[in-house]
């Protein structure tokens, strides 16, 4: 007997969305091994009278695409060119008994009234569904920590310091990156993702003081334009890391608050709990985490939006960058993100926006905020299976659950990773075990999604947690890892790995075949 309480479907972006060419994807989940087959029955909403008389229903069979540790996930595609379609599900168990589900109610026979069905308004669905950005699907995105990648001339004396401290300044530059474009091309890189490049007082530059000025320690505007232009000539795109959740405490607006307190014209740019405002531990204003030097911006404030959107426009129109990675994006207002999306797409229709999301991304993949996200869930699963914190069967269930929660249009664009500037280096994670290193990277490159390769990983660069994971780049090749990742990157560009899906053929405690 089908467990009714396990049946899940609603009209949210996870369960109902537009695909393309007048086709709509519908998702339903049930208890694992409970439902043998599912059909979607549907009709034009405004044919209700004809439905009752003639039974003018059409149907499509759903496919069981994913099996998690607890649930089976069915997906179905409904072709429809009208205004609104009404639909319900026929759930068939192992004994061939049917149960019908529509409008959050169950019945033993098919529905013949649209009031008992779910409905999909096509105009709204087409306006709120994420669209596949083919230029970034299945690509290899190379993350560069700009301060530590490559200098213009000789490396600074402290370049190879290990372990490295966060406040240590080295001499990486835009010109240095430009000089290594052939190296990146050899790795079949499709885009470079640069950590923040704006005026700041730290090596990481997530404490932005001026959104309109490039940090002169990295080079001039002409240097950056040259980098972008030459990168584009190599067929490589440029993504900027942008910080909208917070500013530096040295930002002009926050400094005005410090000087003028409650009389400051910028006081509503931030979240002030009480006055007087002081930059000190246990700050009396909201900030990123507990970092008093990073006061949190009020991204619902119209003046904040105008200020940041003007900066965004500059980097798209004057420098021709191809995308943004938005730092701490799940703590920024939806209103801001929707307006930002529209601004960027109006300026450049194929502009790519990645969100930094460590948890469930569903809310952000409705087509009006992000095109993709940094998939830290993938990072977590790879780490756990290689450390044997979970079994292969559990890994399989969690992995399928992860993919089942992503819009089909976005699956090949999600930014999978096993390390970044916010995590331990992968070679460190696997205790310098080459077999585990290769196993992790094989899964990273060959499972659906784009691949994020953190600088130096191809040479097994070491480093524990932040800040030691941000060491100076070493271009002396580790032949074993470099050649392996180079080959994986070549394979990633085969069409089936760029745009395809996956099926689990076999899984037990020792073997995983896809």
Task: Give the CATH number of the domain where residue 273 resides.
Answer: 3.90.400.10
Predicted pLDDT of residue 54: 60
Q: What tokens appear for 491 in the block?
A: 């394979």
Catalytic residue among 90, 223, 356, 368: 356
Q: How far, in Å, CA of 372 to CA of 504, rounded?
A: 24
Predicted pLDDT of residue 46: 83
**Residues sharing a CB contact under 8 Å with residue 267, sequence separation 6 or more, in sequence order:** 257, 261
Same structural domain for residues 138 and 228? Answer: yes
Same structural domain for residues 473 and 340? Answer: yes
Q: Give the count of domains, the chain.
A: 3
User: What's the CATH code of the domain at 363?
Assistant: 3.20.20.80
Same structural domain for residues 179 and 233? Answer: yes
Among 99, 127, 155, give the residue marking a domain's end: 127
Predicted pLDDT of residue 166: 84
Q: Say which DSSP state 477 is in.
A: -
How far is CA 421 from each of CA 392, 456, 464, rounded to the nearest angstrom?
28, 11, 10
Predicted pLDDT of residue 366: 83
Same structural domain for residues 204 and 304? Answer: yes
Same structural domain for residues 66 and 168? Answer: no
User: What's the CATH code of the domain at 9?
Assistant: 2.60.40.10
Catalytic residue among 72, 207, 327, 457: 327
* 327 assigned to active site: yes
**Residues sharing a CB contact under 8 Å with residue 349, sequence separation 6 or more, in sequence order:** none
Predicted pLDDT of residue 49: 67
Same structural domain for residues 123 and 228? Answer: no
Question: Structural domain of residue 217, as residue ranges?
Answer: 134-245+299-513
Q: How far, in Å, CA of 425 to CA of 418, rounded?
A: 8
* 356 assigned to active site: yes
Same structural domain for residues 20 and 148? Answer: no
Same structural domain for residues 484 and 359? Answer: yes
Spans in the chain with pLDDT lower than 70: 48-55
Among 94, 127, 160, give the residue marking a domain's end: 127
Q: How far, in Å, CA of 213 to CA of 464, rounded?
A: 32
Same structural domain for residues 228 and 259? Answer: no
Three-class SS state of 439? helix
Same structural domain for residues 176 and 255? Answer: no
């Amino acid at each position: 007997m089908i467990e009714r309480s396990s049946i899940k479907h609603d009209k949210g972006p996870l369960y109902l969305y537009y695909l393309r060419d007048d086709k709509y994807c519908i998702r339903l989940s049930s208890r694992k091994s409970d439902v043998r087959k599912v059909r979607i029955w549907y009709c034009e909403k405004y044919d209700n009278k004809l439905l009752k008389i003639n039974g003018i229903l059409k149907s499509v069979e759903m496919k069981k695409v994913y099996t998690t540790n607890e649930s089976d996930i069915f997906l179905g595609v409904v072709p429809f060119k009208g205004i609104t379609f009404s639909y319900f599900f026929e759930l068939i168990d192992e004994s061939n008994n049917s149960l019908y589900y529509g409008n959050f109610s169950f019945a033993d026979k098919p529905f013949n009234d649209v009031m008992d069905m779910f409905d999909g308004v096509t105009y709204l669905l087409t306006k709120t569904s994420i669209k596949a950005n083919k230029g970034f699907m299945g690509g290899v995105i190379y993350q560069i920590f700009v301060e530590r990648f490559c200098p213009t001339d000789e490396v600074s004396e402290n370049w190879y310091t290990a372990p490295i401290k966060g406040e240590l300044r080295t001499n990486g530059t835009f010109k240095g990156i430009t000089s290594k474009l052939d190296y990146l091309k050899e790795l079949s890189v499709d885009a470079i993702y640069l950590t923040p490049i704006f005026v700041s007082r730290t090596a990481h530059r997530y404490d932005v003081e001026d959104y309109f000025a490039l940090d002169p320690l990295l080079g001039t505007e002409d240097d950056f334009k040259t980098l972008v232009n030459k990168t584009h000539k190599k067929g490589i795109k440029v993504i900027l890391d942008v910080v909208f959740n917070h500013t530096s405490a040295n930002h002009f607006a926050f400094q005005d608050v410090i000087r003028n307190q409650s009389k400051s014209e910028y006081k509503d740019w931030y979240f002030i709990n009480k006055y007087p405002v002081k930059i000190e531990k246990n700050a009396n204003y909201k900030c990123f985490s507990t970092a008093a030097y990073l006061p949190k911006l009020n991204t619902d404030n119209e003046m904040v939006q105008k200020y940041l959107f003007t900066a965004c426009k500059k980097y798209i129109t004057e420098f021709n960058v191809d995308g943004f990675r938005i730092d701490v994006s799940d703590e920024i207002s939806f209103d801001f993100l929707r307006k930002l999306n529209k601004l960027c797409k109006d300026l450049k229709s194929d502009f790519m926006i990645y969100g930094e999301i460590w948890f469930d991304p569903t809310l952000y993949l409705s087509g009006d905020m992000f095109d993709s996200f940094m998939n830290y869930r993938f990072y977590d699963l790879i780490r756990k299976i290689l450390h044997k914190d979970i079994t292969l069967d559990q890994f399989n269930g969690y992995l399928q659950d992860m993919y089942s929660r992503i819009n089909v249009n976005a699956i090949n664009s999600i930014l999978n990773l096993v390390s970044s500037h916010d995590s331990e280096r992968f070679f460190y994670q696997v205790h310098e075990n080459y077999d585990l290193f290769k196993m992790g990277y094989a899964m990273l490159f060959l499972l659906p999604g784009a691949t994020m390769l953190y600088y130096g990983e191809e040479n097994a660069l070491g480093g524990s947690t932040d800040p030691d994971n941000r060491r100076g780049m070493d271009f002396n090749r580790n032949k074993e890892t470099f050649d392996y990742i180079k080959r994986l990157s070549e394979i990633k560009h085969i069409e089936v790995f760029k745009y395809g899906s996956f099926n689990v053929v076999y899984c037990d405690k020792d073997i995983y075949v896809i």
